[in-house]
Amino acid sequence: MINVLVAGFPGAMGQKVVNMLKAHDDFKLTAIFNPVVLDLDPAEYGLDPDVKVWHSYDEIEDGVADVWVDFTTPKAVAQNIEAAINHGIHPVVGTSGMAADDQKRVIALAAEKHIGGLIAPNFGISAVLLMQFAAQAAKYFPDAEVIEMHHEDKLDAPSGTARATAEMIAKARTAQPRPTTDDPAHGEKIDGVPVHAVRLPGYVAHEQVLFGAPGEALTIRQDSFDRESFMSGVAVAISKVQQLDTLVVGLEHLL
């Protein structure tokens, strides 16, 4: 049984984490960290009355939690991670927007205290596996293109994940790909990999990697239909984070 503290409990992701913990036999929600809502009553949220509710770092008791799941704010996250590490609790962090300096500092602290933890920009397992498989396939198939498809409101194109995938493919190649063209229809070249972005209503978040070689093709595709999907990644992280002894970035370290 793994005891879990949740920070960012009232947020959309925090609530999804609580529901996931309830549904999972091996996890137990034992504590909530919430410096904002001072009179938070666990019973009101349908929680066990013995769940601890802490509002400041001073109140945290050692031994109550093994893992600290953090979906809070860019402002709070670095201090939260420090508090977790100082209490021997393994951080699993989905909060985005931490400053680079802060990230360096908490990684150093974790190394010093020998407390493993995870900071994950993306908890979607299908996206992380797609990137891993693309890097493996690129060793055999140097010719690849990436197509990502998102809802019409996504502002940046291509997506950060598509960009990262192209970079991983370029790095993993062991042979020169064929030259690409400058045609505007032939995608944006990221490290020499054409990347195409589709923006259409109805779509949520999807990515395809296409590999071609004489007489054959390999395609890897992932679809994120719902943010619900990130919970499988959080569950993997909670299960395995205690195996780590440093604070790493990227769910792939636990897959």
227 binds a copy of itself (CB under 8 A): yes
Residue closer to a copy of itself, measured from CB, 23 or 36: 23
What is the distance between the alpha carbons of residues 73 and 8, in angstroms, rounded to a whole number?
8
User: Which run of H or E residues covers position 129?
Assistant: helix 125-138
What is the distance between the alpha carbons of residues 51 and 44, in angstroms, rounded to a whole number?
12
In the chain, the N- to C-terminal Cα span, in Å, equals 20
Q: Which of 53, 157, 244, 249 binds a copy of itself (CB under 8 A)?
A: 157
Residue closer to a copy of itself, measured from CB, 110 or 220: 220
Is 225 flagged in the annotation as binding?
no
- Closest by alpha carbon to 91, among 112, 106, 108? 106
What is the distance between the alpha carbons of residues 107 and 248, in angstroms, rounded to a whole number?
8
Closest approach of Cβ 148 to a copy of itself, in Å? 8
Q: Which of 88, 136, 171, 243 binds a copy of itself (CB under 8 A)?
A: 136
94 binds a copy of itself (CB under 8 A): no
CB atoms within 10 A of CB 179: 6
Please give the DSSP secondary-structure letter assigned to residue 228.
G
119 binds a copy of itself (CB under 8 A): no
Instruction: From the candidates 154, 189, 240, 253, give the one annotated as an active-site residue.
Output: 154
220 binds a copy of itself (CB under 8 A): yes
Residue closer to a copy of itself, measured from CB, 198 or 249: 198
What does residue 154 show for φ and ψ, rounded to 5 degrees? -65, 125
Within 170-209, which residues bind a copy of itself (CB under 8 A)? Answer: 178, 180-181, 183-188, 194-204
Please give the DSSP secondary-structure letter assigned to residue 88.
T
Taking each continuous run of H as one helix and of E as one strand, the counts in the chain are: 6, 12
Q: Which of 140, 160, 171, 191 binds a copy of itself (CB under 8 A)?
A: 140
The type of residue at 60 is I
Any catalytic annotation for residue 154?
yes
Residue 79 CB contacts under 8 Å (≥ 6 apart), including other chains: 57
Q: Compute the radius of gyration of the chain from its Cα atoms.
A: 21
Among the residue ranges 5-13, 71-79, 98-106, 217-225, the one whose residues contact a copy of itself (CB under 8 A)? 217-225
Closest approach of Cβ 126 to a copy of itself, in Å? 4
Catalogue the active-site residues: 150, 154
Footprint on this chain of a copy of itself (rule: CB under 8 A): 124-126, 129-130, 132-133, 136-137, 139-141, 143-145, 147, 149, 152, 156-158, 162, 178, 180-181, 183-188, 194-204, 210-232, 236, 255
Show binding-site residues for (S)-2,3,4,5-tetrahydrodipicolinate. Answer: 151, 160-161
